[in-house]
Amino acid sequence: MTKRIIISKLIEAPIEETFNWMAQSNNFSKAPWVFSSKWRDSNNYNVGAVRNIFMLVGWYQEKITVFERNKRIQYRVLKSFPPVKQDFTEMKFEKVSRGTMVTWTIDIDVLVPIVGPIITQVAGKLAVGLYSSILITGNRVLTKV
């Protein structure tokens, strides 16, 4: 059973700066829930780029599927531990009067027999904490608060 999670946060910085910070996912390791985020081949964060992210909630290998500068980045999980199906994740960027509204949408399904739907619900709550911590860190870094 796939669960959709949507987290939005106002980042009080220009859209270009916000997009650049979020596109360089090695910045995610500044958040308390993320230990490491590295590109497999380089710091190339365009369509087709693959990254490995180690977080409090596990390890994910992700591939960028859509990259529209200052608009959106989409990616999917190729491999993970624990095993999850995450075929759609999107960071959307919208210019607003006080900065940039970032909306992170995640479709997640934990692939564990029998108890998968229950664990997916828990994973959804953990995902809110994880992605929120990245957005809060981005706002703090970009606004120097």
**Residue 125, token pair as written in the block:** 């709550």
| Number of domains forming the structure of the chain | 1
What are the tens digits of pLDDT across the range 44-54?
A: 778 999 999 99
pLDDT at 72: 98
CATH number at residue 88: 3.30.530.20
How many whole angstroms separate alpha carbon 93 and alpha carbon 117?
30
Contact 77, 60 (CB under 8 A): yes
Residue 82 lies in domain: 3-143
Strands in 72-81's sheet, in edge-to-edge order, are 3-11, 99-110, 84-96, 72-81, 58-68, 50-55, 34-39
pLDDT at 40: 84
pLDDT at 41: 77
State which residues of the chain have pLDDT below 70: 42-43, 112-117, 119-120, 145
Q: What contacts 56, CB < 8 A, 6 or more positions away?
A: 33, 34, 35, 126, 130
How many whole angstroms separate alpha carbon 115 and alpha carbon 13?
42
